[in-house]
Amino acid sequence: EAFYGAPGTLDEIVYLLVPDATTQPAALENGDVQVISPQPNADLVAQLTGIAGVSSSIEQGLTFEHYDFNQANKHLAKLEVRQALALCIDREEIVATLVAPINPDATVLNNHIYVPSASDYMDNSDGLTRDVDAAKALLEGAGYTMGGDGVYVDADGERLSIRLGRRDPNPRRQSTNELFAEQCAEAGVELTDDPAEDFNSVRLSASDYDIALFAWVATPFLSSNTSLYVPGGGQNWNNYVNDELQGLYDQANAEFDAAVRADLMNQIDAILWADMATLPLFQFQEMVAYSDTVSNVIFNGPLGVTWNANEWAITA
């Protein structure tokens, strides 16, 4: 009775956990659920398109996919190796293969803090594109030699073999890792998919990975980025250290002038690129699909699908 807004039209909303995105369309078609918001892929979109009485929409979201390089790994502790990985990956192909079929407007992301729709977005990647020869030159300059199996080895004779951690099941992330591995094999780097159901909940925060594929949110509360990148930050799970960042964040987080703050944030982003601490890939495509028996379902990027659930209604 004390709720400040308009009363909800539904008596209750039941949340049903359907962790496997591939089974969510069937749950929607069967009437087990009326609203879903899965991570979309081309197969999922095709499934939903073929279901009568279901509406769906896809938009560019504020969540973005990226690779984190754990510098506790002896190979990834070397800047040249991280830079070589950024050169052998083909982010354009990944977007064209996995994201553009869902949303033709999707693009490669070249900022760690802002998404392209933000007014302060700048491409600070210094024109990073795929260059396998340059990747090999970096590795050889760092003391790696090509092994007989086509994989580089370091001065200690250890193969340049790296795990790609991710949460499972997630078909799009599995495909992303497969493409990354295929692309970098040409540069003499062995990448192996290393999925786990508890990856995000357990292994990620324990830094139990070599390279992690997961998502951050380009939140309007920019100070929340601090813990991701400063030395000792609570979410700096990839053991990245650059003492210059703390001072820049201290300035940015206390700055009331939006233009000055954006300049400081883009200075931070440029350092992240130079250090190749993490590698942004693309924005998530946010999807909602719902039965036509439910009205007023509208996706809201920052707040998700239930932001206006008090306005949802069931029709016969």
Q: How far is CA 169 from CA 2, 71, 79, in A?
A: 41, 26, 31
pLDDT for the residue numbered 7:
82
pLDDT for the residue numbered 300:
85
Strand-strand pairing, 211-217 and 161-167? parallel
Give the Cα-Cα-Cα angle 37, 180, 170 (nearest 5 degrees): 25
With a CB cutoff of 8 Å and minimum separation 6, the contacts of 30 are none
Cα–chain center distance at 154: 30
pLDDT for the residue numbered 303:
83
Q: How far is CA 188 from CA 56, 81, 152, in A?
A: 42, 11, 5
With a CB cutoff of 8 Å and minimum separation 6, the contacts of 12 are none
Residue showing tokens 């493409």: 179
pLDDT for the residue numbered 134:
98
pLDDT for the residue numbered 232:
93
- Beta-strand runs (E) in the chain: 35-36, 54-69, 145-146, 152-153, 161-167, 190-196, 211-217, 278-291, 294-295, 313-314
Crossing angle, helix 79-88 and helix 171-185, to 10 degrees? 110
pLDDT for the residue numbered 100:
93
Enter the tokens of residue 298. Answer: 């509208």
Question: Do the beta carbons of residue 96 and residue 42 sit within 8 Å?
Answer: no
Block mean pLDDT (10 aa), the chain, length 316: 81 90 92 92 88 92 94 98 98 96 92 93 97 98 98 98 96 95 98 98 98 92 95 96 97 97 98 98 93 93 86 89
Residue showing tokens 């609570």: 234
pLDDT for the residue numbered 302:
75
Compute φ and ψ for 85, nearest 5 degrees: -65, -40
Question: Do the beta carbons of residue 218 and residue 62 sit within 8 Å?
Answer: yes
Enter the tokens of residue 35. Answer: 């609203």
Give the closest residue to 297 by CA, choosing from 25, 51, 35: 35
Question: Do the beta carbons of residue 47 and residue 171 sit within 8 Å?
Answer: no
Q: How far apart are CA 267 and CA 272, in angstroms?
A: 9
pLDDT for the residue numbered 26:
94
pLDDT for the residue numbered 61:
86
Give the Cα-Cα-Cα angle 257, 107, 116 (nearest 5 degrees): 10
pLDDT for the residue numbered 127:
96
With a CB cutoff of 8 Å and minimum separation 6, the contacts of 104 are none
